[in-house]
Amino acid sequence: MTKQQTYSAPGRVCLYGEHQDYLKLTVVPAAINLKTKITVEKNNTREIRVNSVELGKNHSFKITKNLSLAKNEFDYIRAVLMVLFQENIIEEISGFNLNITSQIPFGSGLSSSAAILVAWLTALNDQLNLRLNKTEIADLCFIAENKILGINCGIMDQYSSSLGGIFSLDCDGPPYKIQQFTTELNGLVIGDSCIRRSANEPLTLLKSQITTGIEKIKQQGNFELRTLASNTLTEFRDFITEDEYRKLLGVITIRNITKRSITELSKNEEQDFEYLGSLLTKQQTMLRDYLGVSIPELDNLIDVSLKAGALGAKLTGAGLGGCIIALAPGKEEEVASAINSAGGKAIICKIDFDGAKKED
């Protein structure tokens, strides 16, 4: 009898810096106590045999060096092995039986896909004694999601799920600069609109509009998205389309809001939660009015949360569906019941400080 072992990786909310990671700017994600768990057991074959409890489906495939995607929900499992082969981290491995369970709703902006990738690589890392550290695991999972699965994401989700906690991550790397924060940030309430979408759609569209816009501005002088001031952007308004202008202004404003949040979160004394909340809501205005990635259902959940006493709220993830995150210390129950009455599904959550790990 071979031994079964369970590994887990958390989902995340993005507090500050939405749509900044793939532009190499800075983000502040928070890992949350909703997890994906993978129980693995070596089998005596050369096959991976997966069972997904939530999908109610099974899938098996042979492990070979020229493994490819099957264009189904189990491609996350394949993609991790493909990266390990491509990077020459594994040569030949034995087969495994996998049982996957997840508390993270799929396609909801809570990083369910990164959690599967990271939990699986954490399992392989331990089972095959690969000696990868948590940032190496995040980097490899990013390659799996971005290069192999073809999602236009940045590195935020994989880092958050692997490392856990709340930190700022400067995505202009590698190496990436990380600053961990110690606050427990009590009072986080998720509101799921239950509208599912593929993150790739808003990501692909925004990325292309913003990069085209900034390239046109760069032709006018030595400007970078990291430092471009909104006044300077306005001066060059005639060189870009109205759409590019709005997207760039949204990104620059969110960049500045994120910087302010980091200054507050870095304080050793108690943080000003009202201020942190107001920065969430300011960011939402940009996501809604300038980046155009909110939808009325999310706006409504944000509205009712604020009315029920939240200090601030915003959508989380790529947008156009999925979840909102509200900061409501001491008002968690009120905000949760307002979200539920408005047709959403509320989850009062806590920060997960462990990140991906082997379960006891």
Instruction: Note the residues at the interface with ligand GLA (CB under 6 A).
Output: 14, 18-19, 21-22, 153-154, 156-157, 199, 203, 317-318
Q: Is the Cβ of residue 52 or residue 113 nearer to ligand GLA in the bound state?
A: 113
Shortest CB 176 distance to ligand GLA, Å: 13
Pairing mode, if any, of strands 26-43 and 95-102?
Answer: antiparallel
Nearer to ligand GLA, 157 or 297 (CB): 157
Other beta carbons within 10 angstroms of residue 32's beta carbon come to: 25
Q: What DSSP letter does each residue of 258-273 carry, written as one string?
A: HHHHHHHHT-SS---H
DSSP code per residue over 295-321: -HHHHHHHHHHHHTT-SEEEEESS-SS
Question: Biggest alpha carbon distance in the chain?
Answer: 70
Nearest approach in angstroms of CB 127 to ligand GLA is 27
CA dihedral (307, 19, 357, 65) positive or negative: positive
* Cis amide leading into 174 (omega within 30): yes
Nearest to 9 by CA among 268, 352, 263, 253: 352
Give the nearest distance from C-beta 328 to ligand GLA in angstroms. 22
Tell me how far, at minimum, the Cβ of 25 lies from ligand GLA, in Å. Answer: 10
The encoded tokens of residue 349 equal 């959550």
Residue with tokens 């379960």: 359
- In the complex, minimum distance from the CB of residue 314 to ligand GLA, in angstroms, rounded to a whole number: 11
**CB 146 to ligand GLA: min, Å:** 9
Tell me which DSSP letter residue 237 carries.
Answer: G
Residue nearest to ligand GLA (CB): 153
* CB-nearer residue toward ligand GLA: 15 or 63: 15
Q: Which is nearer to ligand GLA, 154 or 250 (CB)?
A: 154
Nearer to ligand GLA, 304 or 318 (CB): 318
Closer to ligand GLA by Cβ: residue 22 or 96: 22
